[in-house]
Amino acid sequence: MARLSAGVSMSHVPAIGAAVDLGKTDEPYWRPLFEGFEFSRAWIAGEKPDVIFLVYNDHAVTFGLETIPTFAIGCGERFEIADEGWGPRPVPTVIGAPDLAWHVRQSVIQEDFDLTTLNEMKVDHGLTVPLTLMYGQPAEWPCRVIPFAVNVIVYPPPSGRRCFELGKAIRRAIDSFDEDLNVQIWGTGGMSHQLQGPRAGLINQEFDRNFLDALVDDPESLAAIPHVDYMRDAGSEGIELVMWLIMRGALNKKVKELHRHYHVPASNTAVGHIILQND
Amino acid sequence: MALDKPYKDIPGTTIFDSDQARLGYHVNQFCMTLMKPENRERFLENERAYLDEWPMSEAQKRAVLDRDYNALLKLGANVYYFGKLFFTDKISFEKGASLMAGMSQDDYREMMVSGGRSPDGNRFIGEKS
């Protein structure tokens, strides 16, 4: 049987990918950020997950305004790296896990979560930067990946409550898959940041730290946070944090926190990172 | 019945809701074309002519030509879309954000390295910190 062993969250700022791709990780600006992932890279090298169910958002790359799926699951066999306007990132092609993805799709839709199914899609920094943070620069990614894209750009995104409940449905789907697989779920994006307008640069460290605390022990309280509170308190793009609730919803009620890291800034963004193990 | 839009009183912030997405459809889809190098080249050769291929308002075209990003936000453009203009102009998202914040990039970076813009005094229009 497939087994969901752990959840991981991290921000997915494009400048982080550029810092790695351009060999800048030892610069004073970047070093503290990357030091917080040293534990994580050693940990995942020991865990060797077979499949990452990777919750992220596309940034007006694969999805323009012509199609705006709220939840979309990548069921394809492979996902090429998107050219976001400065050439594709020099990272390996992402290999899918179509058997599990199609299974999750069928299971979750039958639980009333009406996913969009994607077989042909390219993936942007929202998906590749988390892989880079956890695996560095391998010739091939050492895991298969199910991309799960959430609309957090065209308001409204799905509610935190909806995301949390969807995570539970994804968990039930993974638990009912017959193949013996070690699966992790990652929730990416956030933490507090605002990229637009005169209020650009907003960071709310108190909000972020409270969010990290509650994510471990009291995720129900986070599921109740309305959109406007994220936008007002954590910046207009801080709303991406609802994606972390899909990750948390998929885990056991009780989890063990293995690692936490928080750093301001990466470009315009507060970077948060946490690893939670199913107890 | 109007929808509840409780985010309208957040200062210095334009939420990309249905109204904005409807208003900005063509300007955002124009921005999407700038992900291709040949389109960036053609745009930079004659920006006005390229913009005239799209059914955008004159105000939207003016805001693109002037790189007035705060005006673009009001006119329905979204930062992830007009971020393609940053790439076209070879500026970073940090630089783009500093322009919208009305700060030099150095001052903006200094603010970010010092912990970012505080939410105190910045949650509601008219709020005093």
Q: Which residues of B touch A226 (CB under 8 A)?
A: 6
HEC assignment per residue over chain A: CCEEEEEEEECCCHHHHHHHHCCCCCCCCCHHHHHCCHHHHHHHHHHCCCEEEEEECCCCCCCCCCCCCCEEEECCCEECECCCCCCCCCCCCEECCHHHHHHHHHHHHCCCCCCEEECCCCECHHHHHHHHHHHCCCCCCCCEEEEEEECCCCCCCCCHHHHHHHHHHHHHHHHCCCCCCEEEEEEECCCCECCCCCCCCECCHHHHHHHHHHHHHCHHHHHCCCHHHHHHHHCHHHHHHHHHHHHHHHCCCCEEEEEEEEEEEECCEEEEEEEEEEC
Quick check: A265 and B116 CB within 8 A? yes
Is the omega angle on the peptide bond into residue A156 within 30 degrees of 0, that is, cis? yes
Looking at the DSSP assignment, which residues form a beta bridge with residue A145? A52
- CA atoms of A100 and A241, how far apart (whole Å): 25
Query: Which domain range does residue B81 map to?
Result: 18-90
Distance from CA of A227 to the nearest CA of B (A): 9
- CA atoms of A240 and A219, how far apart (whole Å): 16
CB atoms near residue A193 (< 10 Å): 32
Q: What is the pLDDT of residue A244?
A: 98
Q: What is the pLDDT of residue A86?
A: 84
The set of residues, in sequence order, having a beta carbon less than 8 Å from that of A101 and lying 6+ positions away, is A73, A74, A75, A146
And the tokens for B125?
Answer: 């229009």
- CA atoms of A127 and B116, how far apart (whole Å): 25
- CA atoms of A102 and A113, how far apart (whole Å): 14
Residue B70 in any domain: the answer is yes
Judge whether B24 and B77 are in contact, CB under 8 Å: yes
Quick check: A198 and B102 CB within 8 A? yes
Quick check: B115 and A264 CB within 8 A? yes
CB atoms near residue B129 (< 10 Å): 8
Phi, psi of A224 (to 5 degrees): -90, -5
Q: How confident is the model at residue A39 (pLDDT cuts 50, 70, 90)?
A: very high
Residue B45 in any domain: the answer is yes
- A12 has catalytic annotation: no
The pLDDT tens digits of the residues spanning A158-211 come to 999 999 999 999 999 999 999 999 999 999 999 999 999 999 999 999 999 999
Residue B118 in any domain: the answer is no
Judge whether A43 and A259 are in contact, CB under 8 Å: yes
Strand A51-56 vs strand A144-150: parallel, antiparallel, or unpaired?
parallel
Query: What is the CA angle A187-B108-A243, rounded to 5?
Result: 10
pLDDT over 70 for what percent of chain A?
Answer: 100
Residue B66 in any domain: the answer is yes
Q: What is the pLDDT of residue B129?
A: 59
* Alpha carbons within 13 A on the beta-carbon side of A217: 3
Q: What is the pLDDT of residue A27?
A: 97
Judge whether B122 and A202 are in contact, CB under 8 Å: yes
Q: Which residues of A touch B78 (CB under 8 A)?
A: 60, 153-154, 196
Residue B77 in any domain: the answer is yes
Q: Tell me the CATH number at B85.
A: 1.10.700.10
Interface A:B, Cβ pairs < 8 A: 152
Residue B63 in any domain: the answer is yes
Residue B44 in any domain: the answer is yes
Q: Which residues of A touch B92 (CB under 8 A)?
A: 15, 267
State chain B's maximal CA–CA distance in angstroms: 48
DSSP assigned state of B120: T
Strand A94-95 vs strand A116-118: parallel, antiparallel, or unpaired?
unpaired
Quick check: B94 and A236 CB within 8 A? no
Quick check: B80 and A60 CB within 8 A? yes
pLDDT exceeds 70 at position A240: yes
Q: What is the pLDDT of residue A184?
A: 98
The pLDDT tens digits of the residues spanning A116-154 come to 999 999 999 999 999 999 999 999 999 999 999 999 999
- A263 has catalytic annotation: no
A112 at B interface, C-beta within 8 A: no
Q: Which of A193, A268, A269 to mutate to test the interface with B (most CBs of B within 10 A)?
A: A268
Give the number of domains in chain B: 1
pLDDT over 90 for what percent of chain A?
Answer: 98
Residue B24 in any domain: the answer is yes
And the tokens for A170?
Answer: 């994804």
Mean pLDDT of chain A: 97
Residue ranges for chain B with pLDDT beneath 50: none
And the tokens for A64?
Answer: 């323009």
Strand A182-188 vs strand A3-10: parallel, antiparallel, or unpaired?
parallel
pLDDT exceeds 90 at position A279: no
What are the C-alpha distances in Å from A245 to residues A56, A186, A191, B65? 12, 10, 13, 40
A151 at B interface, C-beta within 8 A: no
User: SS3 for B117?
Assistant: strand
